[in-house]
A and B are shown apart, each in its own frame.
Chain A
Amino acid sequence: MSQPIKCSLCEEAATVHLSQVVHGNVTKVHLCETCAQKGGATDPAVFQLADALTTASPAPTLTCPKCGFTDIDFRKRGRLGCPDCWETFGDALGGLLLKVQHEASHVGRAPAGTLPAGQLRRRLNDARFEMEKAITGEDYEAAARLRDEITDLEQQLANS
């Protein structure tokens, strides 16, 4: 007995079948109704989706040791697999982060459970940020003061 064709994005039975012909190469994508609607089957974006699915055949070059998520999975979903993926993919995502974010490193709160280290970290982050700003603004006096503060905070953090 033949199995129903499964959706290329989830495990549901596929009811929408798309074929795309580019320079004589035929690629096919099978989607369930939900995924087809989500992608907008009438939308040219679906064909970009088709591209993403069909060109993603080469072997993954990065795999998260914790959850098995690969760079190919990221290309398909645009989301990571687990918090540890950031270790594995962090460097590879650097370019993307710079594109969508303000800077590639965190400035701001840390979990309350990690206090007082969290507080120190927060101040350390702020001080690093301020120092960068001072250097860019050629305010070397402020930068030197902040550098001392950073050394002090780092020392405190190491001892906490």
Chain B
Amino acid sequence: MSSVEDILAAENELTHLLGAQQAVVLSTRIRLARNLEGMPFPGWAKVPQRKEIADRCVEALDALPKFRRGHVLRMGELGDRDRAVLVERHLVSKELAAGKSGAAVISRDQTCSVMVNEEDHLRIQVVKAGWHLRGTWHIAEQLDDALGGTLKLAFSDRLGYLTACPTNVGTGLRASAMVHLPGLCLAGHMDKVSRALNQDGLAVRGWLGEGTEAAGNVFQISNQQTLGLSEESILKHLGGWIKNVVEQEWNARRKLAQEEGEKFVDRLARSLGVLRSARLLTSSEAMNMLSHLRLACDMGCLPEERRHLVDRLMIEGQPAHVQARAGQELDSDGRDSRRAAVVREALKDFPEVVPPTA
């Protein structure tokens, strides 16, 4: 079994753990950019240097208790589909997957993944299901300390952690929340919210990060500035805004449910109906209808304990996941048909949508 198949087969917090999921916030993520002292950044390094960087970083990571029985994946040794699966799971970025000299070291429970030779030598990532900013930060901080103990990291008193891009220098910290905002989208308030966040130093992106669409009303909200602010103030700033956005989202949902009445329930019920019987489902169609199902679980229109299944389908309904599960390359129609089959099977014993209780 390849390591990627192993990752797909393993039950993890984001796709399986009952009770870890929360309304509105899908997951919390911390990313730290770090570099080795005295080595050129990956984008400027020659091939042998990149190899040396990868070897040194992977060796140091592999020795950490956090990665015991984890996965070491070298991008150059993986097929296209395996790399796409890792991107869809947010375990590696598109940029890392596109190059040959990148590697990813992933913890057994898939909460920690470190990208090696992406834009920086090391990109430490920690992801937890639901909203757990402090806990997630704490794990990242420990990993950072452990790595700083074995590797000499590039650091300057004046500029902090030195990175390839001026937008990451200083703390190298990108803290983010993946949020599901169907209420604000349906009410047409998302542009306004986005603008307010942008003006206060936060970036709003789509489901797969930079330059992607917000399929399924899922957005990633993260800090933009990394220099001149302590980790503590970055986390506080993001935390305050997420709390605010979650509140606004609930207000929008309640208002919609109240004003629309039967129409609101009908929308959710129709999505369940289509998902339960469609023979062909495109990726974005599935995402948008699953978004309605997640909303239904949050609002008490469907049992809350089904929410993790909706989250799993959002991840496993993506193109590379569908093909990986089928064990073969599929053309677009083939994928749509297979996706529909997976969704039908998963939803076959879902109860009917009822009026909201939340």
CB distance from B266 to the nearest CB of A (A): 40
Most buried by A among B119, B144, B165, B170: B170
Q: Is the CB of A79 within 8 A of B165?
A: yes
Cβ of B167 within 8 Å of any chain A Cβ, yes or no, is: yes
Cβ of A86 within 8 Å of any chain B Cβ, yes or no, is: yes
Q: Is the CB of A79 within 8 A of B119?
A: yes
Secondary structure class of chain B's binding surface, majority of residues: loop
Q: How far is the CA of A126 from the CA of B160 in the complex (A)?
A: 13
Q: Which residues of A pack against B, CB within 8 Å?
A: 66-67, 69, 73, 77-84, 86, 90, 93, 96-97, 100-114, 121, 125-126, 129
Q: Is the CB of B44 within 8 A of A113?
A: no
Q: Which chain A positions have C-beta within 8 A of B222? A: none
Closest B-chain residue to A100, C-beta based? B167
CB distance from B66 to the nearest CB of A (A): 15
Q: Is the CB of A106 within 8 A of B159?
A: yes
Q: Is the CB of B152 within 8 A of A106?
A: no
Cβ of B153 within 8 Å of any chain A Cβ, yes or no, is: yes
Q: How far is the CA of A140 from the CA of B30 in the complex (A)?
A: 37
Cβ of B48 within 8 Å of any chain A Cβ, yes or no, is: no
Closest B-chain residue to A157, C-beta based? B157
Closest A-chain residue to B223, C-beta based? A102
CB distance from A110 to the nearest CB of B (A): 6
Q: Is the CB of A100 within 8 A of B228?
A: no
Q: Is the CB of B228 within 8 A of A106?
A: yes
Known pairs A79-B165, A80-B41, A80-B164; A107 contacts B229 (CB<8 A): yes
User: Which segment of B14-22, B31-39, B303-311 sits at the interface?
Assistant: B31-39
Q: Is the CB of A102 within 8 A of B225?
A: yes
B43 is contacted by which of A77, A109, A112, A113 (Cβ under 8 Å)? A77
A103 is contacted by which of B119, B164, B228 (Cβ under 8 Å)? B228
A108 is contacted by which of B39, B151, B170 (Cβ under 8 Å)? B170
Q: Which chain A positions have C-beta within 8 A of B169? A: 86, 97, 101, 106
Q: Is the CB of B230 within 8 A of A126?
A: yes
Q: How far is the CA of A40 from the CA of B33 in the complex (A)?
A: 27
